[in-house]
Every structure is written in structure tokens, then in C-alpha cells.
Amino acid sequence: MPGFSTDAILLRKIEYGDHDFIISFLTKSKGKISVIAKNAKKSVKRFTGALDLFSVNHIHCTYPKKKKDGLTILLQADLEDGFGNIRYDVFKTTYAGFWVELIHFWLEEEKPQTELYDLLFFSLDALNAGIISGEVIHLLFQIRFMGLSGFEPNIEYCGCCKTPVDRIEQNKVLFDFKEGRIICKKCIKGESKHGKTVSKGTLKQLFWINKNDINRVDRIKFSGFALKEGESLLESFIPFHMGREFKSLQFLKRLRQEKNEF
């Protein structure tokens, strides 16, 4: 029976009928795929503990015999890492939930995205290990996702006069969501309806974690102000460019608000 096996991170799982699931995976070799897990609700042997959101599995699939356009069938999933430490922390769980929701929405089916798979795995693994703060990993994932998805923001120099950030006189610049670039005070013509002001220090730190070796991210120290400013910038820019709101991101913002009220 023709089929394939690959490492895969679970992006989404929805119920289908009384016994089945339709599941979206980000795979190492095939990009995003959708499969049907037949009788998954009752099959202890094949799927126990393996079908949780953002878990990493080695999956075994086969193609349907009769329907050419039918869903690929998930035969077995062997759990490789469930990232248990993430699941004990509501903020970490929500970060991870946003990342997989973002990828599921953006990716087309069966277009290999090895770099994106590696980024998601690294981010989940680092979040689970807890050596680097979740806030920093969250920023890292978002800024690198933007580059891999084709709309990496220009945060290195003014998009109009090309003045590097370090040489811009003002401490804050405008980030224009529509253009995906920073604009210095001298080049601003009227007010942008879709933009935020952001400090040069925050921009330089975001640039650093975007361009340097991903394994060195633990070397940079964000201030509390830079973390909040970076979160505000990226969490506004990404939905704007994607053209939609994300439920997991809305929940994350509510969590922060509730935390600040205590």
C-alpha cells in the first residue's frame, strides 16, 4: 500500500463524525498536510498521547484507494515529544497555540517548508526547556516567521531616506504597517492610519534576534519595556498583514490584561 512516513508537528485537530479526527500537520518533508485519523477516538494502540496540539510525532500515512481527492489516511503516530512543560503553563501554551494557528492559516498544502519546521521545533523546544524566557522566544518566532513568509519588516533603516537606525536623531520612529517599514520623523508626511511608534533600542534588539544565529538568542537581554514594545509591534503587524485576527492571540492579550489587574 503506497504511503509515506515523516516527522510532523500537529497544527490543528477537529472532530469528524463520531469516531474520526481531521488533522493538520506541519511535516519535515511535505510541508502542511491534512489527514484523517479513522477511529482515533477509540484506538488506544495507534494514537495514545500522540494527537495533542503542537506535539511532535513520527507519522505513518497511506493514500486512499478509491477516491483520488480523498484525504490521506493517518495509520499511526509515534509520539516523539509532547512538550509537557509547556502544557503546565497557560502563557506558554497560548504562545505555542498562536504559533501553530498562524502557520496553519498561512501555509498552503504540501509545499515543503523545512526552515519553518525547524523554526517551530526550535521555538517549542526552547519554550519547553525554560532556559530562555517565553517572551523572548515569542518575539523570535514572530520576527523570523515574517521573514520566512515573505513580508519581513524593514527595521534597519528609514524606508524613505535610507538613514540607518543608529543615525536617526530621534529616539522613536514610526513603523508603518502598510509599507512594513520604519520612517524617521523627517520623512513622515501626515499621520499613518496603520502604524505604531517604536524606540530604536527595541528595533535593534529585534533585528539582532532575527539576523544572528538562532542558537545564540539566549545571549540577548531584553528590558521589560522592550519586551512589551516588541510584543505590541509584532502582534499588531502580523494580523494586519495576514488580514485576520487570531483567537489564540486575543486570548493571550486577555491573559496579560488579567495578570496586570492583580
CA-to-CA separations, 100 to 52, 115, 133, 140, 186, in angstroms, rounded: 12, 15, 19, 15, 39
Contact status, residue 132 vs residue 141, Cβ threshold 8 Å:
no
pLDDT value at residue 157: 93
pLDDT value at residue 151: 83
In terms of phi and psi (left: phi > 0; alpha: psi -120 to 50; beta: otherwise), the region of 150 is left
User: Within 10 Å of residue 178's Cβ, how many Cβ atoms?
Assistant: 11
Please tell me whether residue 173 adopts helix, strand or coil conformation: strand
Q: For each of the domains in the chain, give its residue range(s) and CATH number, in order of start.
A: 3-82 (2.40.50.140), 86-261 (1.20.1440.120)
Contact status, residue 3 vs residue 61, Cβ threshold 8 Å:
yes
pLDDT value at residue 152: 87
Phi/psi at 198 (nearest 5 deg)?
Answer: -145, 145
Per-residue tens of pLDDT for the chain, all 262 residues: 578 899 999 999 998 888 889 999 999 889 999 999 988 877 666 777 778 999 999 999 998 877 665 789 999 899 999 999 999 999 999 999 999 999 999 999 988 899 999 999 999 999 999 999 999 999 999 999 999 988 889 999 999 999 999 999 999 999 999 889 999 988 987 656 678 999 999 999 999 999 999 999 888 889 999 999 999 999 999 999 899 999 999 999 999 988 876 6
DSSP string, 125-146: HHHHH-SS-HHHHHHHHHHHHH
The reported pTM is 0.92
Nearest by Cα to 246 from 142, 175, 152, 154: 142
Element (H, E) at 96: helix 90-106
Please tell me whether residue 37 adopts helix, strand or coil conformation: strand
pLDDT value at residue 253: 93
Nearest by Cα to 9 from 48, 55, 78, 49: 55
What is the spatial distance between Cα 146 and Cα 52, in angstroms, rounded to a whole number?
26
pLDDT value at residue 69: 59
pLDDT value at residue 190: 64
For CA atoms 38, 41, 44, 48, give the dihedral sign.
positive
